[in-house]
Amino acid sequence: MEYLIHIAILISIYAILGLSLNLIVGYTGLLSITQAAFYGIGAYVTAILLTATGMNFFISVMLGVIITGVLSLAIGFVLSKFKDDYYALGSFGFNVIIYSIFLNWQSLTRGPLGIPGIPRPSMFGFTFSENIWFLVLSAAIALIIFGICEYITHSSFGRVLKAIREDEGAIRVFGYHTIWYKLSIFVIGAMMASVAGALFASYITFIDPSTFTLTESIFILAIIILGGLANNKGAMLGAFCLILLPEVLRFVGFPDDIAAQMRQVTYGLILILLMLYRPQGLLGEYKL
Amino acid sequence: MDIIPQLIVNSIIAGAIYTMVALGFNLIYGTVKFFDLGYGAIAAVGGYSVFYFYKILNLDLSLSILLGILISGLVGYIVYRLVYAPLRKRKSSGMVLIVAALGVMTALQAVVAILFTSQFQTLSQNAGTERVFSILGGVITQTQLIILILGLVIMAIIGLVFKFTLFGKAVKAVGDDEEVSKIVGIDTVKIIGWVFFIGSAIAGLAGILVGFDTGIEPTMGLSLLLKGVIAAIIGGIGNVYGGVLGAFLLGFIENFGIWKISGEWKDAIAFGVLIIFLLWRPQGILKR
């Protein structure tokens, strides 16, 4: 039971990540491979504030969201100068740079040692120390974010995003400043990822830089590509499948080391096969 | 101790390795116009093939290296035929190809890790007792000298092949306009297949040499590849000599960049350079 709750918590955290990246990649058509960086910033801000100042979890989440917002605004601004392949490559670059900062700014992040002893969230004297309660919290936040995504994508703002994805030149002719739309959705997506990071940090109670590498960004991308681009339910479905799949592999009886690598092989194969046979994923409404 | 001569020598050695990766990458990019990220994993394939033949089967050194290069080329060719060729036939967008390439990279790396574990291995039998030369007051090992010479030789060969042979001209033609080359009777599938074979063989060689110089691990390809891509872009993508120039420039910037700070920042510096170039001089130093 405890094990199932653990899986469910992970699914809800990755669902948030998937939803956030889907706004950027699926709805707006910007192939960003840097979501793990924002996920990491959220995690580190929360971890540092909670361990150093004993601040309330929810306030630290807010601060993390604000800090991520400011940073992603700057990163998004630089990235907005690039197109397609170069956009992907540039976003790669920011992931590597931010990972280096986690690793090397040792006075703040303790570098490769990581930050242990991050407390669980508490509210009005109630601490979410039991996993079942943490699941309630993370699932609730995932649902709220799902609601926000549905709202955004069904609003007129969301329609402009889709129009940018289909034909940026044409929508510009109608007088839309596409750069502001692209920037806003990039920042919104980054902020959501930061919330997921805060949840992750306080759930695992320990973080180190190795969680927030390029591989993680590729994994998040795999989630939304499998689930389906430009479909919020697809992002959640993708998280569900890709978190569950390696657990199935574990039951097949591979040793731990091999199981971890088998997982990578499966992710890789899923990406290749999807691109070959079903580029829109399971529920997708948009092909890259 | 005077550090500047050693920094210069280190920069040249780094430049020589990046040269090789950039040459192979440029060859492929110049012909098919997409970022083949799977190419990074090929370097690891080369390194580990030699590890298998030379250290486990105890074959002759030069035979092992030859086999390693052939296997790398072959893997690159197979990946092209199985994944990229069908996608390109369908006129998939560059982003689809990037995602597929990410899948190839993730899967290949993991397969290597399953076969050989993810431990760091070194290829050379006599680590630490190698002959060293001193140039300009800095120290360079025999392996590093070989890397430097091979890098320049491969550059010269590619430059000459492009200029004087029918094959080189065909490759150039395919890079300029695939449709028209098909019409004038060039077997584009065959030419591109060869390009992938040769480019991947060069990547494999780079992986092997790095293995002799420092060591191999399954994830070595990604950072090698990214450096190669950065070198190719800042030098002028698709331009043989531009890639070499970019590689040495990158080597110098990286090594002088970490003069006063920790060496862990190298990757961040490299990507910083990439982003600066993409912003202000996206065509690179030498235009194609």
Q: Is residue A254 part of a domain?
A: no
> What's the pLDDT score for residue B127?
57
Counting the structural domains of chain B, the total is 1
3-state secondary structure B8-68: HHHHHHHHHHHHHHHHHHHHHHHHHCCCCCHHHHHHHHHHHHHHHHHHHCCCCHHHHHHHH
- CA dist., res. B50 & res. B46, Å (int): 6
**In chain A, alpha helices (H):** 2-22, 35-53, 57-79, 84-104, 106-109, 131-154, 156-166, 168-173, 178-204, 214-227, 232-252, 256-277
**Closest to A192 (Cα-Cα) out of A28, A13, A46:** A13
Q: Is the residue at A248 inside a domain? A: no
Would you say residue A39 has pLDDT above 70? yes
Mean pLDDT over the full length of chain A: 87
A240, part of any domain: no
The one-letter amino acid code at A234 reads: G
Higher pLDDT, residue A148 or B260: A148
- How many other C-beta atoms are found inside a 10 Å radius of the C-beta of residue B66? 14
* Closest chain A CA to residue B101: A272
Contact state of B103 with A270 under an 8 Å Cβ cutoff? yes
**Of the candidates B87, B110, B222, which has its C-beta nearest A264's C-beta?**
B110
Residue range of the domain that includes A99:
2-212
ipTM of the complex: 0.83
| Residue of chain B with shortest Cα separation from A225 | B99
User: Strand, coil or helix: what is A122?
Assistant: strand
Chain-centroid distance of CA B58 in Å reads 26
Q: What is the CB neighbour count within 10 angstroms for residue A175?
A: 6
**What local confidence, expressed as pLDDT, does residue B1 receive?**
53
| A and B: number of Cβ contacts within 8 A | 129
Least Cα separation, residue B129 to chain A (angstroms): 31
B208 found inside a domain: yes
- To which H or E segment does residue B158 belong? helix B142-164
pLDDT of the residue at B128: 59
Residue type at position B168 = G
Q: What's the confidence (pLDDT) of residue A191? A: 93
CA distance A8 to chain B (A): 25
Three-state DSSP class for B139?
A: strand
Q: B149 lies in a domain?
A: yes
The domain tally of chain A equals 1
Q: With an 8 Å Cβ cutoff, are B274 and A103 in contact?
A: no
Name the β-bridge partners of A23. Answer: none
The one-letter code for the residue type at A263 is R
Range of the domain at B177: 4-280
Task: Look at residue A29 in the predicted model and tell me its pLDDT.
Answer: 86
Q: Does residue A90 lie within any of the structural domains? A: yes
> CA nearest A32 in B: which residue?
B95
**B95: CATH:** 1.10.3470
Per-residue confidence at A148, pLDDT binned at 50, 70, 90?
very high
Residue A16's SS3 state is helix
The number of residues making up chain A comes to 288
Which residues in chain B are closer than 8 Å to A85, comparing Cβ atoms?
34-35, 94-95, 98
Report chain A residues whose CB lies below 8 A from the CB of B34: 85
B288 within a domain of the structure (yes/no)? no
Q: What pLDDT score was predicted for residue A133?
A: 87
Q: Find the closest chain A residue to B85 by CA distance.
A: A276
Ranges of residues in chain B with a pLDDT under 70 are 1, 126-130, 136, 288
What pLDDT, on the 0 to 100 scale, is given for residue B129? 64
Task: Please indicate, yes or no, if residue A167 is contained in any of the structural domains.
Answer: yes
User: Are the C-beta atoms of A22 and A235 separated by less than 8 Å?
Assistant: yes
Chain B residue with Cα closest to A29 = B95
Q: How far is A132 from chain B (nearest CA, A)?
A: 34
Q: Which residues of A touch B271 (CB under 8 A)?
A: 92-94, 96-97
Q: How far is CA A98 from CA A35, B37, B157, B223, B227, in A?
A: 11, 21, 39, 15, 17
Domain membership of residue B286 (yes or no) is no
Residues of A with CB under 8 A from a CB of B: 31, 33, 78, 81-82, 84-86, 88-90, 92-94, 96-97, 100-101, 103-104, 214-215, 218, 221-222, 225, 257-258, 261-265, 267-272, 275-276, 279, 287-288
A25 → chain B, closest CA residue: B95
Q: Outline where B214-284 has alpha helix (H).
A: 220-235, 240-257, 266-280
Phi and psi (nearest 5°) for A108?
-100, -45
- Of A89, A262, A275, which is closest to B229 when you measure between CB atoms? A89
Decide if B13 is inside a domain.
yes
Structural contact between residues B113 and B218, judged by C-beta atoms closer than 8 angstroms: yes
Q: What percent of chain A has pLDDT over 70?
A: 100
* B115 located within any domain: yes
| Angle (CA) B248 B249 B251, round 5° | 60
Using the beta-carbon criterion (under 8 Å), do B109 and A81 form an inter-chain contact?
A: no
Q: State how far the Cα of A66 lies from the Cα of B172, in Å rounded to an integer.
A: 50
Chain B residues at the A interface, defined by Cβ less than 8 Å, are 34-35, 83, 86-87, 92-100, 102-111, 113-114, 117-118, 222, 226, 229, 233, 262, 264-265, 267-268, 271-272, 274-275, 278-279, 282
Q: Look at residues B193, B29, B35 and name the one whose alpha carbon lies nearest to residue B104.
A: B35
A281 in a domain, yes or no? no
Q: Is residue A270 part of a domain?
A: no
Write down the pLDDT at residue A210.
Answer: 86
Q: Which residues pair with B270 in a beta bridge?
A: none
Q: Which two tokens stand for residue A267?
A: 């992710």
Please answer yes or no on whether A90 and B35 come within 8 Å at the CB atom.
Answer: no
